[in-house]
Structures are given as structure tokens and as C-alpha cells.
Structure 1
Amino acid sequence: MDETLILSKFDKLVNSGLVLYDQNQETVQHVDGDLEFQFLLTSALVKKPVLGPPSSEKNAEVNGDKADGSDISTKGFEIGPIGNDHFVIANKFCYARPHLMLLTCDGYRRQYEPLDEAGLEAAQTVLLSMSQDFVVFYNCGQDGGCSRLHKHMQLIPKPPHSFADFLDNEASSSSPPKVPFHWFYQRIDVANTGGKGLIEVYTNLLQQATTVGQGLAQHADSAPPGAACPHNFIMSKRWMIVIPRRRAGINKEAGANALGMLGVIAVATRAEIENWIRLGLSESLRELGVPK
């Protein structure tokens, strides 16, 4: 997939008004204890539905602009296919240029499933097609922050600052930040790692996350067959991270996806920032993850 083509299609969708992206969005920094947070303040999220549970299976049906089994509207947002099993669309509510979604062609694949080799290879293809650094992330399960059932990952240019910065330089002597939750990570050269190697690393990290998260998820007893431990997955060209989750949000105005757990939180209003600060940023992430 060509980066120039992706940006061209994305910009056309923004100019048409179909995709919402605020070119004047702000980055607001806030330090809480030993951790530095970045709020992405963007009007593009004003009309986005608040964080809530995924659509029900009964609503994931055939609907003109959706694939069979899917609950994600894709018509008009298409960017292009990735292999035989995945395709890329523009996210409707964007906090990056571009902000992409990588979906399974099979609309019956579900967001509570673990990632598989084909999905990781598709993510690898998009990451390596970009000249700039991107991250791909996956919000697995309702407690992991997902709001749609159709299995999908998201991709954005790598934020300039996050809790994962120490992983970018293997020779760096910097220590990992003292996050208040369990996270599992490994440096990896994605460009020179095949699908089998990627799934091996992911499976190992997910097993560690599952072990510490055993029995803590609120819906563990009612999880559907084949569901993985609720978790976040984030991968760049140089590392992979898996974070076990207990809750999607503290309240409707303070929910975190995978990037939020790395200290990069997208918000629509300054009131949301104030809400996060009032709740306590580090303490909130501790509640959303599995406390150390």
C-alpha cells in the first residue's frame, strides 16, 4: 500500500466532510507524579459517541454500508485492501493525519478475539509502507475499550511523546516510566520479523497479561467463547506492548483506549481534561489496568 495514496485519499475524505479531522487540534501536557501525559484536544471528537459497550450481535447485521456481520460503516471510507483478509478505511473521527482502521474482510470476526498471524502481518504491511513512524493498536474486549464488534485495529503516526519512548532506542540507558499498572513489552525489529515471529512475541506477551489479569475482568464469567483476556496491543516498527485491562473507563468522560494507557489521551473539550485531572490521571490508569 502506497503512503502517498493513503494520504491523498484521507485528505479528500476530510475535505468532503465525510471524515472529521481538526487541523488546529492542540496538545495539552500535564504532569501527574512521575508521569507526563499528553491530551490531544480536537473538535473532531465532539460528535463522536461517548465510550460505551460494543454493539450487540443482533445489531451486527447486513446494512447497506456494512459487510455481513459487521457493525462498522465502511462505504465511502475505503482506502484499499491489505492482502486477502484485511482492508483499510479512514476512521470517521480522527485525531491524527491519517487515522486509519484495519478491518478483517470477514465481518463476523469479533473484537474480543486475540490477534492472529494474518492480522499481525497485515499490520506489519501498513507499518512498513509508511516512511514516518506509525503505531498500530488494538482494543480487545469491552473492558479493553472497544465500542464495535467487527474485529479491527487502528493506526496513527506515532505520538511524539508517550510512556513507550524508552523502547525506541535499544542503546538507551533510560529506565521505563513507573506506570501504576502491569504492562508487558519487547523490543522487536518488525521489518525483519516474519508473521510467525510476530505471533510468537504477541502470544508470549498476552500470556503474561492473562496471568496477571486472571479473574479480574468484570465480565470474565460471561465472556463469549474464544474471548481473550481484555487487553490493549500497541506495535511500532521497533517494539510491541500488551496491557491487561479491567475497565474501559472511570466514567463516560474518562475512558482510555490503548494509546490512553500510554499517556496519550484524545479529548473533545477542556472540560474532559479537567475531569481527568480531578479524578487523578495515574490513579485512573491504575484502575483501568491491573494494578501493580
Structure 2
Amino acid sequence: MRVAENLNAALHRALAEDPDLHLLGEDVLDPYGGAFKITRGLSDRFPERVLSTPISENAITGVAAGLALAGDSAIVEIMFGDFAALAFDQLVNFAAKSVSMYGSRVPMRLVVRCPVGGGRGYGPTHSQSLQKHFVGVPGLALYEVSPFHDNADVLAEMFAREEPCVLFEDKVLYTRPMYEVAEPFRLDVHTPGVARVFLDERPDCVVVAGGGVSHRVMAAMRSLLLEEEIVCTLLVPSRLYPVGIELPPGTRRVFVVEEGTAGGTWGAEVAHEIHRRHFADLDGPVTLIHSADSVIPTAPHLEAAVLVGADDVHRVIRETLRG
């Protein structure tokens, strides 16, 4: 099963289990089934609760937040995560605040799905990873799809929080198989919600990364092992924020990889938490690895030069550990 199929199955299950759940978005109805086919089959099966909307991310999110405020549950599909900026007001000034601003806690079961990331030649306004712009908002939790977490469990966890959540979904990741790890590495669950890809229990470094860049990190881990004899462990959290990373015992060096640009990032928040709790145990500060400080070009060779890749991860880890 590929990631897109797993996510589609999770949406089918969620709608089947919750008769008060609605899904809203642009072009989500069959036979189209959404721009990336994640909603395929849903409108045929649940015609009264899967609603195709006009092109207004602000309005879609506002309606969904109203449904959540009234006691129902709602999922919003933003066709391209870049346009979540148009829903920022509804998320930050209405949905997230509604959890606590009325004098007692109000459950807000709202999930906003955002396909993000480059690698498909969609250009500057359809390829961004905007996770950092939503970090730190009270009452707003952030998640990222990975090939190591069953999306049915992830959706269930988000709704159980009873607060608005944003789910970031890397577009290239949609085509990847679930739970695939290249030898000689192994996969397990390090802590609840955090997958671990590892070789042994005493690595030279730990890499923390969202699911969207996990394959690039694993490629770098393999080349570092074969070419430099550097052993890495990868931690992939399902929930980005609030941060919940527990380092393996004996960790001495930590890297955080994300596709977004530097400056006020999720990676910086991870580094802050690790420094606050583990700084005395580390051999150096957490190192952040980002894409270039640039818009994302459409031309494949220029896009590849801007986005963080396996070669960048390899180079930074090698230079930091061997420097």
C-alpha cells in the first residue's frame, strides 16, 4: 500500500465511524476525487457529507470551523498547502481560539489537510512547505504524514485532541510505499507517535525529520554508512507541534532536517526543546538543515538545487562530525 492509498483508506474509515464528520474541499467529488486523488470514492459512499466547495480557502475553513464549533467534526482539503495562507485568519483567530476563549473548553474537532512540498515542478506558489508559519499557535496542533505511521491512527489521535489540527502531506510522498526501509536499517516505534529507523543502539548521530523528507534522509544515512562509516538513527514524529521528541540514551549529536527555509522553523523549536532538556549531554548544539533561502523554481534542475536533498544531508553531517 502506498501512502496515498493509506490516507484514502483512513478517510473512508473516519467517515464510516463518525456520522457527524464532514469533508470539504475543492474538486473533492468523484470521479475526480481531489487533485491528488486522496478523496477518491468518498463522495460516492458518503454523498451528503463530502462537499465540493468554491475556490475560497478562507470560506472552506470557516465553514468547517463552524461545524466543529457546533459539535460536528470536519476535515478540510486545501488543494495546495501554499493556499493555507488564505485560511490563516480562520485557523488562528477563530478555530484555535474557540477551544478556550468562551470561558470553558470547547471541543473543536477540525483537521485541515495541506499537500505541501516541491519535487514536482509546480513552481514558486504551489511547492512550498509552510509548516513553520503555524508553529506556536495556542490551541493548534501540527502533524505530518509519514510512510511509517498509519493515517487512520493519526486521524484518530487528531480528533481525540478536540482542537484544530493541520496535517501536512508531502506530495511526492503520496507515491511511496508504506513502511519501506532499505537494508541494513530497521524500523520500529521509538516512542508513541515517533518512528525510528536505525542500525544499532549507539549511533554517531540522531537525525530528526518530518515524513516528507524521510526518504532523502535515509538515502543520506546509507551513503554516510557506506562511504564514511558514520552510523545515523532517524526519528520521524507524526506530531510536529507540540514537540514530543525523546532522544535515545547516549545521543551525542543531533541534526534536524526540513524542506522549508530557515528562520523561525519547526526545526528550531525541536532544537530549543532538545537544548533545554539535553544540552549538557550533547557534544555540540543541534544542527539544522534546510532548503535554500529562495523561491522554488519550476525547472527541475533549478528546483533540485534549491530543495534540501540527500546530498545536502550527507555533506552537513559529514562536515559537522568530521570537522
Q: TM-score normalised by the shorter chain: which range applies?
A: 0.3 to 0.5
Q: With structure 2 as the length reference, what TM-score do the two structures score? A: 0.30
Structure showing greater radius of gyration is 2
Query: Which structure carries more relative contact order (alpha carbon 8 Å, separation 6+)?
Result: 1
Q: Give the structure-1-normalised TM-score.
A: 0.32
Q: Greater strand share, 1 or 2? A: 1
